[in-house]
Chains A and B, each alone.
Chain A
Amino acid sequence: MTETITSALKKTPLHARHCASNARMVPFGGWEMPVEYSGITAEHMAVRTRAGVFDVSHMGEIEIAGKDALAAVQRISSNDASRLQIGQSQYSALTTFEGTFVDDMLVYRMAPNHFMLVVNASNIEKDYAWIAAQIREAGDAAAVDSSSRYALIAVQGPAAIDVLQPLCTVDLSVIKYYWFTHGEVASARALISRTGYTGEDGFEIFVPPATADRLWQAILQAGRSAEVIPCGLGARDTLRLEAAMRLYGNDIDESTTPLEADLGWIVGWKKDSFIGHERLREQKEQGITRKLVGFELLDRGIARHGYQVVRGDRPIGVVTSGTQTPFLKKSIGMAYVPLDLSTPGSELTIDVRGRPSRATVVPLPFYKRKG
């Protein structure tokens, strides 16, 4: 079993709360984070049927402001930030010159000349260095790593809105999906975003770190009668995989492009230019040779990250994520496969620790909420 090294790991403002609540803590991307509270299955089901609360304060926030902030964001981000209204956010890629992922991120438009990028915890330093260097050519704009100024609490699930509303000074029902607003939640000044990483309706609440513990407790108190429970990164991973949301470092990285990851919709093809755009346009014209697909494993077991997709004894692809889903009760995963095996119904063979196992390609996402 793994030994936990706690000394060098960073802690969120809710770290003491997790420990006091007997959450199982693990190292994740340089942070010591709760992987589970009551169990991955119980937490997963709570989010699908009621609501769950996640500490995701490890996520990074990088703000870009200045007269030419829009031009700066347009240069580094694949998606078209000019389409964002104030109070709106979009999913995007922070691209390399090869058109691959430095990271994936959410871009929030806070003001006409002020954007906030929410990035992966393990990439904060890398992203900030990249962004600071690349926006110099975009004119008058500066980037600030403001990660330590925010705690981030996600409340996810069909009951999230009813649990949160009594704590809020703003009407949550008017916030559309992928929009946000400012308000107070449990007397904390907050940016309230209708986004998430679970495939359910829900909110992500950015608050000053000093108010995080009070907010956490207030949400759980308000959600007690609805049986809202705290959740860890384990359930966050199974939930996001059912919803086919990509995980940086697993499904996408500096060797894969948005087109290969089947995320062509986050590329602003109408933009004049952005970092990596030539390579992506070229790839779009010539066509990709491999594609990220969803599969269901037909044989017993779980096809995990790094397992090979084989034809005979020859590797032809690789599994990027895999799990047994608590809600769908199936063994599912995502894999890069050659284009001729990428259509739903295609049969794959995956080497599961030396055992050739049958899988079939299925449409993504595995799970889509109703309504």
Chain B
Amino acid sequence: MAYPADRKYTKDHEWIRIDGDTGEIGITDYAQQQLGDVVYVELPDIGRSITAGESFGSIESVKAVSELFAPMAGEVVAVNDALRNHPEVVNSNPHGTWMIKVKLASPTDSGALLDASQYQSHLG
């Protein structure tokens, strides 16, 4: 699968798509493949502040549970409630499924993250 060029990636396999001062955060196709069938996504409450690299939730598959790490700092302004009843969309459409929206503390501060081709090489 091609990794979209309209967003940045972490080495922990999250993506963030920045639009103005807001970032949508999800996990990559590689991450969902590694996890297998997702059965629960645990997300933070709206209003919570998160710092870059901090765990903001967890994702649980039949096989394993993994932490979700924030690519950038900010305040959670929306969570994807549809994932409560349909966590499997993370498997079927990982790049079209945001988990949280964050009002970014410094929207231009994404330099440390990987772009699509860097992430692709990171996967090897």
Contacts and interface: CB of A to CB of B under 8 A. Distances in A.
B40 A300 contact: yes
Interface in A298-318: 300-302, 304
Given A300-B40, A301-B42, A302-B40, A326 B34 contact: no
Given A1-B13, A353-B65, A302 B60 contact: yes
A41 B58 CA distance: 20
A300 B42 contact: yes
Interface in B1-58: 13, 31, 34, 36-37, 39-40, 42, 58
Contact of A323 (B31, B34, B42, B62): B62
Interface stretch (A13-21, A32-40, A83-91): A32-40
Given A1-B13, A1-B34, A40 B40 contact: no
A234 interface: yes
Nearest to B67: A353
B34 A36 contact: no
Contacts of B37: 39-41, 326
B60 A301 contact: yes
B36 A39 contact: yes
- Residue from B40, B58, B62 with most neighbouring chain A CB atoms (10 Å): B62
Contacts of A36: 36
A304 B65 contact: yes
A324 B39 contact: yes
A301 B62 contact: no
- The contact size tier of chain B is 10 to 19
Contacts of A238: 62
B8 to A, nearest CB: 19
Contacts of A40: 36-37, 62-63
Contacts of B34: 1
Interface string B52-83: 00000010101101000000000000000000
Interface string A57-68: 000000000000
A56 B36 CA distance: 21
A35 B64 CA distance: 12
Contacts of B42: 300-301
A324 B62 contact: yes
A121 B40 CA distance: 31
Interface in B64-109: 65
Nearest to A42: B37
- Residue from B13, B39, B40, B58 with most neighbouring chain A CB atoms (10 Å): B39
Interface of B: 13, 31, 34, 36-37, 39-40, 42, 58, 60, 62-63, 65
18 contacts: A1-B34, A24-B36, A35-B63, A39-B36, A40-B36, A40-B62, A234-B62, A238-B62, A300-B40, A301-B42, A301-B60, A302-B60, A302-B65, A324-B39, A324-B62, A326-B37, A326-B62, A353-B58
Given A35-B63, A302-B60, 6 more contacts: A238-B62, A300-B40, A301-B60, A323-B62, A326-B37, A326-B62
Interface of A: 1, 24, 35-36, 39-41, 234, 238, 300-302, 304, 323-324, 326, 353
